[in-house]
Amino acid sequence: MPRTRHVVTVFAVATALIIPAVFTAGSPAGGTPAAAAATRTVLRDRTVCRHVGNTRARCLAIRVDHVRRGRIRHESAPVGYGPADLATAYALPTATAGVGQTVAIVDAYDAPSAEHDLSVYRAQFHLPACTTANRCFRKVDQRGGQNLPEPDGGWAQEVSLDLDMVAATCPRCHILLVEADTASMANLGAAVNTAVRLGANAVSNSYGGPDADDRYDGRFFHHPGVAITASAGDSGYGASYPASSKWVTAVGGTTLTRAAGSRRFSETAWADSGSGCSTVNKAAWQDPTITGCPGRAVADVAAVADPATGVAVYDSYPFQDTSGWLTFGGTSASSPIVAAVYALAGNTAEVADGSYVWLHHSGLNDVTAGTNGSCPTKQWCTARTGWDGPTGWGTPHGTAGL
């Protein structure tokens, strides 16, 4: 079902529809209220993966639908932030770094058009080709073979979001897509193990389920020398797994807007960014006097996730009457961005668990404003100077913090 928390009505000129805070809306096309009403467009957030039981995870991608006269309008060109925007906002060395690094994306089910859609995205933004033919791109099942699972439209859009964010952040990186048989944590975890076995330097997990104990950690997420990232969630306060694992870097979300100044962007905590204090997991490398949490506190770091300041994505697999250029948000966007920044830094051999950011956080953009709601301890929900739940220690500023 569509999310109702973020419904925005804008009036658009005949040439384009836009996302608030990313672009600027035009004036109504006509000169009368009737003409304006005829072109009214509603921007509606939709979670693309269905809610599931406790034994399964759900992808966290949020699509922004442009609805006019009850129908979703399809875009013929990108709407949302692209590679140049992310490179500027996070001071990324995209033109020089990432060679020899592999970023793995772990998702459930098959995305039949994944390689084609990635090629369209890269061509649109003049990024170097990344294909099976040139050995830059590889897609495998959770065992590393070609017995691919059945397709799923929601997870296919998650795959497109993940692949495009890695391409945007680290254009020179190789990309490995590992598709789990189902969305069970056991199958997704097995896919993580396969990604590491096949040589990934960083692995992104854009999904989550209820906060779980460490029965999965040693089997699936403990990979010293590989940076494992996980989305913190899109429902405000409440720890989710695997973000609450001590072995991963938990990635929260921000609202990224254009601004004056040398950086040209500013950020606040996204109102729906996941955060939390785990009641079942601990992380000895976290300081409870900072977090106020006796268990594992989420998040560690953040990047853009607000659908209202979303990213452009290309996906051609028909799903919910959508295909082509789409706009997405959610911490499903921020997790692959951070995984790719780890690859840009090229030092994942030094990453043992989620502690790396805690040891190098002076190299991040501290996010000091915004909240994702109310909770028992203020810093679990409200951005502040230093660490806080929604944004961790901040967002990438080059590769110094990662």
Per-residue pLDDT tens digits for 285-300: 999 999 999 999 999 9
Band the pLDDT of 211: cuts 50, 70, 90: confident
Band the pLDDT of 72: cuts 50, 70, 90: confident
pLDDT recorded at residue 54: 62
pLDDT recorded at residue 69: 81
pLDDT recorded at residue 97: 96
For residue 95, cis peptide bond before it (omega within 30 degrees of 0): no
Helix (H) or strand (E) holding 154: helix 153-169
Task: Report, as an integer, the average pLDDT of 184-213.
Answer: 94
For residue 299, cis peptide bond before it (omega within 30 degrees of 0): yes
Task: Report, as an integer, the average pLDDT of 318-325.
Answer: 92
pLDDT recorded at residue 63: 97
Per-residue pLDDT tens digits for 244-270: 999 999 999 999 999 999 999 999 999
3-state secondary structure (DSSP) of residue 205 = strand
Could you give the percent of the chain with pLDDT greater than 90?
80
pLDDT recorded at residue 147: 98
Task: Report, as an integer, the average pLDDT of 47-73.
Answer: 86
Residue 276 pLDDT > 70: yes
Residue 13 pLDDT > 50: no
254: tokens are 């921000």
Band the pLDDT of 22: cuts 50, 70, 90: very low
Task: Report, as an integer, the average pLDDT of 85-106.
Answer: 97
pLDDT recorded at residue 20: 39
Residue 23 pLDDT > 70: no
Integer Cα distance of 271 and 381 in angstroms: 9
pLDDT recorded at residue 134: 97
Integer Cα distance of 180 and 297 in angstroms: 28
Band the pLDDT of 41: cuts 50, 70, 90: confident
CA distances from 228 to 5, 42, 104, 213, 225 (A): 30, 37, 9, 18, 9
Answer for the pair 250, 293: CB distance below 8 angstroms, yes or no. Answer: no
pLDDT recorded at residue 212: 76
Helix (H) or strand (E) holding 257: strand 249-258
Task: Report, as an integer, the average pLDDT of 262-283.
Answer: 95
pLDDT recorded at residue 2: 52
pLDDT recorded at residue 17: 34
Residue 36 pLDDT > 50: no
pLDDT recorded at residue 74: 82
Domains of the chain: 79-396 (3.40.50.200)
Per-residue pLDDT tens digits for 324-344: 999 999 999 999 999 999 999
399: tokens are 């590769």
Residue 39 pLDDT > 60: no
CB within 8 Å of 184: residues ≥ 6 apart: 55, 56, 57
Integer Cα distance of 5 and 107 in angstroms: 26
54: tokens are 């406790």
Give the type of residue at 371.
T
Band the pLDDT of 149: cuts 50, 70, 90: very high
Band the pLDDT of 29: cuts 50, 70, 90: very low
Integer Cα distance of 239 and 346 in angstroms: 29
pLDDT, mean over the chain: 89
